[in-house]
Amino acid sequence: MLSRMNIVVLLATAVAAGVEWIEALTIVLAVGLSKGWRSALVGTAAALLALAVLVTAFGITITSRVSIDAARTVVGVFLLLFGLKWLHKAILRSSGLKSLKDEGQVFEQTRARLAGTGVAPAGVDRAGVTTALSGVFLEGLEVVFIVVALGGLQNIPSAVIGALVALVIVAGAGAAIRGPLTRVPENTLKYVVGIMLTSFGTFFSGEGIGVHWWGDDLSVLILVAAYGLASLAFVWVLRRPARRQGSASGLERAIRAIVLELWGLFVDDGAVALVAVIALLGVALIVQHEGDPHSIAGVLLIAGVLIAVAAGLANTARRVRKTIDKRPPEPPAEEPAADLTATLPPRDRALTGPTPDR
């Protein structure tokens, strides 16, 4: 029977993986409608096979080769950075400082890019297979990390079931609609996932460095509430100020995309990652030297994470506002030409005739 924490892990994994599967579905649909479903399915199957191997390998390594304390600390830190990246972007999107994610636009861009590769003979199209493979694999890398991070520390089967349930639901919806899931509130889901991953990352990394959480596993719900309310406050603050209107080879591109994806998996804003790591190290030093008899370290860790988010948001908001301030002012609208006949006496006005229609 699943424990209370494993149920939470299953649900959190399902929601987080569902967001990634929606993005992968958009690419697979574009390939299937442009290059044929055989090419799309071959690329998708190859990517899912590679992801299954990664989950198995990392899951066995974490559960059997690494001590639980070391795994909880290391994976917790990376999960915290991963969640902060999602939460940072979600707050920026909600405050209007970053454009919303549009799966319909991604779908059309992918189809346009595939249309430029030419028409392949009947069978499997190479461009279609590689596009589906890279899209599903890169999006699936984040699912692998979520499954290993949440499931490896609690229950791998629960996390795997959550990811598979999300995959079945998203794939079924895509097969029924035959188009991108544009009606799914993806940006809202990313907001929720960012809060959940940040909460789990804080909980696991805190446990790893010796923080005594209040209520054990129930502390995750407290963290979710704290980060949710704080993020809404950040959105409100960022919305307040009034703003004035005003050639590489395919292999090289694939390698560069994988490297950037792996780097961007955990780091989206250097200030957020730096302050979060400093907060973790500071709390670890306090716990090591002073202990944590009154569970104060948990409060300090939450405060450090919120300061990291605030630092990243302030940095981004400052850059965006500088860009807006540098925009040239719009030229004033031309005033219509005065009707000179209006000043003439009625008799002379009749001789000049009506003013031409401009």
Flag residues of the chain having pLDDT under 50. 1, 243-246, 340-341, 344, 347-358
pLDDT at residue 208, as a whole number = 78
Query: % helix / strand / coil in the chain, to the nearest 5?
Result: 75, 0, 25
pLDDT at residue 292, as a whole number = 61
**Cβ contact 95:231 at 8 Å:** no
- Looking at the domain assignment, is residue 355 inside a domain? no
pLDDT at residue 241, as a whole number = 58
pLDDT at residue 276, as a whole number = 75
Q: What is the per-residue pLDDT across 223-267, written as a single tens digit (0 to 9) for each?
A: 889 999 999 998 888 887 554 444 555 666 666 666 656 555 555
**Cβ contact 212:295 at 8 Å:** yes
pLDDT at residue 166, as a whole number = 92
Q: What is the per-residue pLDDT across 188-216, written as a single tens digit (0 to 9) for each?
A: 888 898 898 888 888 888 887 777 777 66
**Cβ contact 141:48 at 8 Å:** no
**Cα–Cα distance between 252 and 262 in angstroms, integer?**
15
- Looking at the domain assignment, is residue 202 inside a domain? yes
Could you tell me which of 273, 125, 298 has the C-alpha nearest to residue 208? 298
Q: What percent of the chain has pLDDT over 70?
A: 71
User: Both ends of the chain: CA-CA distance in Å?
Assistant: 80
**Cα–Cα distance between 125 and 349 in angstroms, integer?**
76
- Looking at the domain assignment, is residue 334 inside a domain? no
Phi-psi region of 66 (alpha: psi -120 to 50; beta: other; left: phi over 0): beta
Phi, psi of 116 (to 5 degrees): -80, -5
- Looking at the domain assignment, is residue 95 inside a domain? yes
- Domain containing residue 190: 4-242+250-328
- Looking at the domain assignment, is residue 133 inside a domain? yes
Q: String of b and e for 105-143 (b: at least 16 CB within 10 Å)?
A: ebbeebeeebeeeeeeeeebbebbbbbbbbbbbbbbbbb
- Looking at the domain assignment, is residue 349 inside a domain? no
pLDDT at residue 104, as a whole number = 82
Cα three-residue angle 302-303-306, rounded to 5 degrees: 85
Number of domains in the chain: 1
- Looking at the domain assignment, is residue 356 inside a domain? no
pLDDT at residue 352, as a whole number = 45
- Looking at the domain assignment, is residue 338 inside a domain? no
**Cα–Cα distance between 203 and 213 in angstroms, integer?**
8
CA distance readout (Å), 94 to 76, 91, 97 = 26, 5, 8
- Whether the model clears a pTM of 0.85, i.e. scores above it, the answer is no
